[in-house]
Structure 1
């Protein structure tokens, strides 16, 4: 005798919540798009407006995402929402650190970076191995522009393998794409 499979009745409240969630996500995406564009409206660069094509290109690589001011801002916002923004903050801080020319400023800044990101139990401690942490501890005593390179490579790899794929699957990115696609079809 074949078994009878009884499916539960369609829960209309669940359907309504899904529709409401989609509507809410669309509004969140629109609001976020507006905030992004307002943040950079004073900029005179060629990337003055957030476009669907640029946003789609963020999915090609983490490097592509970070090269875009809107991509970087969106990625940072996503990481903050997950309480995991220490990696991008460290990576960006290292990029700025490499631009320092003064050895006095470099020394001062290296110590601050160490205290903020490298030292065990620091406020924004990054996830690096003991060997790298100890090497940086020694490097900071006589800092060069490359004293954080190993840690920066590790952090970039972590973001590329972990945070970046989650970002591409996130509501914030998908909603942003959907809103830009809808705007593009409107004309």
Structure 2
């Protein structure tokens, strides 16, 4: 799954699949965390952390992810002085949820099988 999440075609297909299942907040959170970890300036770190918290973590967030209360509280406390790793635990949890739940269904979906077939036939043309 990790390798395919870094391939634009497979990532787009997986995103579309998750949207069809109304669970695209998981991949969007994971991607937001990947972007967050590449943040260089402390000022950007703070506003990006706040944005991720408001969109995905806070109670009744518009795209709230499924992580337990303890993880949410740790993140809330870390917002006072955010670090590049403040979302790591939640990101890992969401990744494992996708890997165990959504990813196997995606691998059996028409979207994936069609993409896989197209990738294979290009080599023969």
TM-score (norm 2): 0.92
TM superposition shift of 1:140: 1.0
4+ residue segments displaced more than 4 Å: 179-185
How is 1:7-156 mapped onto 2 (pairs within 5 angstroms)? 62-156=1-95
- Work out which structure has the larger RCO, using CA pairs closer than 8 Å and 6 or more positions apart in sequence: 2
Structure 1 unaligned runs (5+)?
1-61
Structure 2 gaps of 5+ residues are none
Distance apart, 1:176 and its partner CA: 2.6
Q: Which residue of 2 aligns with 1:169?
A: 108
CA RMSD of aligned residues (A): 1.5
Offset of residue 132 of structure 1: 0.3
Which deviates more from structure 2 when the two are superposed, residues 62-71 or residues 174-183?
174-183
TM-score by length of 1: 0.63
Cα distance between partner residues in 2 of 1:179 and 1:104: 44
Aligned to 1:146, the other structure's residue is in SS state coil
- How far residue 178 of structure 1 moved from its aligned partner, in angstroms, is 3.5
